[in-house]
Structure 1
Amino acid sequence: MTDGSWTTLISIAVTLLFMLGVPVFLVIGYWVIGMSFVLGLPLINTGSALADVFTDGFALLAMPLFILTGDLINRSGIARRLSDFAYACLGWLRGGLAMASLGACGLFAAISGSNSATTATIGSMLHPEMVKGGYDERFSAATAAAGGTVGIIIPPSIIFIVYGFLLNLPISELFVAGIIPGAMMVGAMMLVAFMICKRNGWGYLIPLQLNRIMKTAIGAWLGFFAIGLVLWGIYTGKFSPTEAAGVTVGFCIVVGFISLPVYRLMGSPSEDRPYTERNMSEYLVVQGFTPVELPSITMRSAQIAGVLAPLIAVSVMMQQILSVLGAQEIIGDFVRGMGGYYAVLFTSMAIVFVAGMVLESLPVTIILAPILAPVAHSVGVDPVQFGVIFLVGASIGFITPPYGLNLYVASGVTGVPYLKLLRYTVPYLLSLFVVWIMIALLPFLTSILIP
């Protein structure tokens, strides 16, 4: 058999494995090993290349630290107090709790940098509250899934770190460039939630009370401080993204240790009653952890990092093999042949969207970004702006079937079947598409905050 026949056969085989539910890491790994034999590449080179991905990439050290940050802010109670504050601000509007869920996703994303962690945390906390408050359970679960899409756009972002590492771009600039697009995504989804809830009459209204807002803001001040610490350090150049991740982990550990004794004095919630029926003294959730619990929290984060790290490594190897096969030139020539600035830009966006429908954002980024970014730059697209455009498109894939990782996460934490989420996901998808196009057409949205 010719090399082309072997390549086709191996590709079909791993595609079938993917359709049968084999983890993406193994699917890509099998393809990399099979193609190494076809191309005559020694496996020892494969092993050294996998190791070089991490030994040569200081920026990637931020990834496990931000994963740990997400778990720490959940266990420390910061995430819940941020959602309490969001509801106090928005609960007077129809669909206020749904909008508060989306706002809480944005606030949580500003510390954790993960889409799935955002969906899982906010979904597990606020989905029961929304159901108690009269919202349709399918809509509630879809809201959590959609809100999680901003997890990789609002800084700090794990995928921005990977993108900057691959394209040799300043990660701090990518972080800052994602602030306004991330806020726009949250705002657009809030508008959709308001319109749906107003049409269906969902949700109870609470009065807009300054003392309620102030009390929940005081309860959430540690969360605001953590957000400000990360953004200040990166924006001013005091911290690199990796250093910022380390500082945030340390801060969250301290918060977790002091939360139990401090917040127990401020009242505990009545979990059997919805938000709308609670007294203000019941909004502050007593959470935290002891030094004895810290190793188990760290182990859980390490397990997640242990899944992502090999996926990054084999995806880099896949990208290298595709380069040997000439795939980069083929795709690059195809996109370049579409014409000028906007033709190349929108063709690239279409490719990212289609890839995001069937792959997780990490392999999409590692495989396609080194191919599409140089082509976009050659027609005048700013590299940082294209990075944001690329990753907003990848984030939309989190709620786009058939893959839709956030849909699976939301289904898992809420108990709502995957297929039942899709109906209420469509309006959120449309709003995100509008924001995506605006980011592509208006470059200043990504550049205005960059110092």
Structure 2
Amino acid sequence: MTGLVVFLVTLFVGVPIYVAIGLTSWVSMGSFPLTVLIDQMVSALNSFPLVALPLFLLMGNLMGAAGITRTLVAFANMLVGRFRGGLSIGAIGSGVFFASISGSAAADTSALASVLVPAMKEEGYSGGYSGALVAAAGTLGSIIPPSILLVIYGVQTGTSIEGLFVAGILPGLVVAAGMIFLAIYIAHRRGYPLHRGVSMREGLRTTFRALPVLMLPAIVIVGIIAGIFTITESAAVAVAYAVVLVLVSRRIGAHRLWSILIETAKETASVTAVIAASAALAWPLTRSQVPAELAAYVTQEVASPVLILLLVNLLLLFLGMFLAPAAALVLVTPILLPIGHELGIGSLQLGLITVFNLNLGLLTPPVGLGLFITARIAGTTYLEQVREALPFLAVNLLVLLGITYLPFVTTALPSYLGH
């Protein structure tokens, strides 16, 4: 109880999440020496698959700094721009392409919004709708591989990260397809304009420019599915390819490359600090049998597995409204694993349920980071962004129900490919 009070108070006063978790771990240790906590923190970070985390972050930062967002947007618009609402369809397609490069939903949203929102407003789309659409497209970054959150979950639970990546492909594409159909409906209902078509010569030029960029996700996804690379090897190869691509194309110089490395190191430190602190907290929790007892209590008191899964989803959605997805993920996973085991839910399905829920925090008030990012760029109010985002949030929730109650949505493809 004391640990819970410390955690809530430190969060309320604005202490960084990893410090709040660390203090809670220390208070919960009782008479055990602090060296136990240090051992747990070191063990949590002493993981070869975790090396993929900074590599994927670096890959996303490199491509973002090189300005490849405009290349991907131009390619997506070339494919679908001639249809009514084509620019909105292209925005979602750009979200899919960028998700397969970045792996971070917040980074995707920021990069896409800076290019797409002004372009959509210029074409006659409202600022509120433009921002909400791009914020929704940005959430694909945590579902479609490579996903930073899935890497963290895989390292924390010992689940195959390759399997998690494959499991995220179908749900991510279904969400994208649902949002595209919704965007087409809204475009026709509101009379949004046709985007100008392109000549064959311009289309070939755009495709030629985009191909080197599109090769990057192909290296990661195909390499993993075919069993050519492990998750860490695929990340290393992708980073090497990205460095060569941006240097050869002269998109960034050596000085900018150094600053990107520093930025990636800072991002990695912030994420791994949370992972280490959460591993320290997991030790006293596990030793006191709190997760196991909670799982037993829930499954005994709530007879219906359907209701239990609904309650789990509601809890995760609530946490995602207030906490950063990575922090919430490492906090709740040790508690959810025993519950999932009692219900017979595989770790792949549980991982997608957890990440999908927490990722929706980017679209849900009161925080809704994705909506804050796009509202600033679109020059609209936060409430207008929330209102316009509700239909896209509904699409995500429908897919979430499918992930939760239809296991084959997340397990069929990994099983077929042997993961």
Same structural fold, with TM-score higher than 0.5 when normalized by the shorter chain: yes
The aligned residue for residue 136 of structure 1 is 126
Q: Aligned equivalents of 1:116 and 1:8: distance in 2?
A: 29
1:158-177 to 2 correspondence within 5 Å? 158-177=148-167
Q: Distance in 2 between matches of 1:164 and 1:322?
A: 20
2:275 matches 1:312:
yes
Counterpart amino acid of 1:71?
N
- 2:127 and 2:379 in contact (8 A); partners too: no
What is the CA-CA distance between 1:97 and the residue it aligns to? 1.4
Q: Are the equivalent residues in 2 in contact too, given 1:78–1:222 (CA < 8 A)? A: no
Query: Which residue in 2 is equivalent to 1:295?
Result: 258
The equivalent of 2:6 in structure 1 is: 10
Alignment match, 1:205: 195
Q: Supply the distance in 1 between the matched residues of 2:331 and 2:297 (Cα, whole angstroms).
A: 16
The partner residue of 2:215 within 200, 221, 225 is: 225
Map of 1:92-111 to 2, 5 A cutoff?
Answer: 92-111=82-101
Cα drift, residue 9 of structure 1 = 4.1
Which residue, out of 288, 304, 316, partners 1:352? 316
What 5-or-longer segments of structure 2 have no aligned partner?
A: none
| Deviation for aligned residue 1:412 | 5.0
CA distance in 2, matches of 1:220, 1:305: 29
Mark the CA change 1:361 to 1:195 in structure 2 (over 3 Å): closer, same or farther: same
- The equivalent of 1:74 in structure 2 is 64
Pair 1:321–1:145, CA change in 2 (3 A): farther
Matched, 1:40 2:3: no
Q: Which moved more, 1:411-420 or 1:289-298?
A: 411-420
Q: 1:431 and 2:377 equivalent?
A: no
How far apart, CA to CA, are the structure 2 residues paired with 1:204 and 1:398?
A: 29
CA distance in structure 2 between the aligned counterparts of 1:316 and 1:398, rounded to whole angstroms? 25
2:299 aligned residue (326, 336, 339): 336
TM-superposed deviation, 1:133: 1.4
8 Å CA contact 1:134, 1:204 repeated in 2? no
TM-score normalised by the chain length of structure 2: 0.91
Q: CA deviation at 1:195?
A: 2.5
Written as runs of structure 1 = structure 2, the 5 A alignment for 1:29-428 is 29-36=22-29, 39-55=30-46, 57-207=47-197, 211-260=201-250, 288-324=251-287, 326-337=289-300, 338-411=302-375, 413-414=377-378, 416-428=380-392
Deviations 1:360-389 (A, max 9, x none): 221222122232233223333232122222
**What residue in structure 2 maps to residue 276 of structure 1?**
none
Asked if the contact 1:340–1:379 (Cα under 8 Å) also holds between the matched residues in 2, the reply is no
- Structure 2 distance, partners of 1:415, 1:22, is 31
Is the 1:120–1:413 contact (alpha carbons within 8 Å) kept by the matching residues of 2?
no
1:442 to 398, 402, 406: 406
The one-letter amino acid paired with 2:10 is: V
**Identity over the aligned pairs, expressed in percent?**
31
Q: Distance in 2 between matches of 1:133 and 1:164?
A: 42
Q: Partner residue of 2:16?
A: 23
Structure 1 Cα separation of the partners of residues 373 and 32 of structure 2 = 38
| In structure 2, C-alpha distance between the alignment counterparts of 1:398 and 1:248, rounded to whole Å | 27
Q: Is the 8 A contact 2:128 2:388 kept in 1?
A: yes
Change (3 A) 1:45 1:413: farther
What SS is found at the alignment partner of 1:384? helix
- Distance in 1 separating the partners of 2:279 and 2:245: 37
Distance in 1 (alpha carbons) for counterparts of 2:285 and 2:365 = 26
CA shift for structure 1 position 119: 0.7
**How far off is 1:86 after superposition?**
0.8
Contact 1:335 1:347 in 2 (8 A): no
Q: Deviations over 1:290-346 (max 9, x none)?
A: 233210111122222122121222222233343345541353134323234433333
Question: Partner letter of residue 280 of structure 2?
Answer: M
Partners of 2:25 and 2:284 within 8 A in 1? yes
Q: Residue 189 of structure 1: CA displacement?
A: 1.7
Aligned residue-pair number: 414
**Alpha-carbon distance in 1 for matches of 2:207, 2:43:** 45
Give 1:284's aligned residue.
none
Deviations 1:145-195 (A, max 9, x none): 211111111011111111111221111111111111011111112222222
In the alignment, structure 1 segments of 5+ residues that lack a partner are: 261-287
CA distance in 2, matches of 1:22, 1:78: 36
Aligned-partner residue type, residue 100 of structure 2 = A
Determine the C-alpha separation between the residues in 2 that align with 1:191 and 1:28: 42
Residue type at the aligned position of 1:322:
L
Q: For structure 1, which segment, 361-370 or 330-339, has the greater mean C-alpha deviation from structure 2 after superposition?
A: 330-339
Over 3 Å counting, the alpha-carbon distance change for 1:432 and 1:8 in structure 2 is: closer
1:380-438 Cα deviation digits (max 9, x unpaired)? 32321222222211221221122323233334555544343211121111110011112
Give the Cα separation in 2 of the matches to 1:109 and 1:192. Answer: 20
The secondary structure found in structure 2 opposite 1:292 is: helix
TM-score scaled to structure 1, two decimals? 0.85
Moved more, 94-103 or 230-239: 94-103
> Are 1:77 and 1:259, in contact at CA under 8 Å, matched by a contact in 2?
no
Paired residue type of 1:163 = Y
Q: 1:14 to 1:443 in 2, by over 3 A?
A: same
Q: Distance in 1 between matches of 2:182 and 2:15?
A: 35
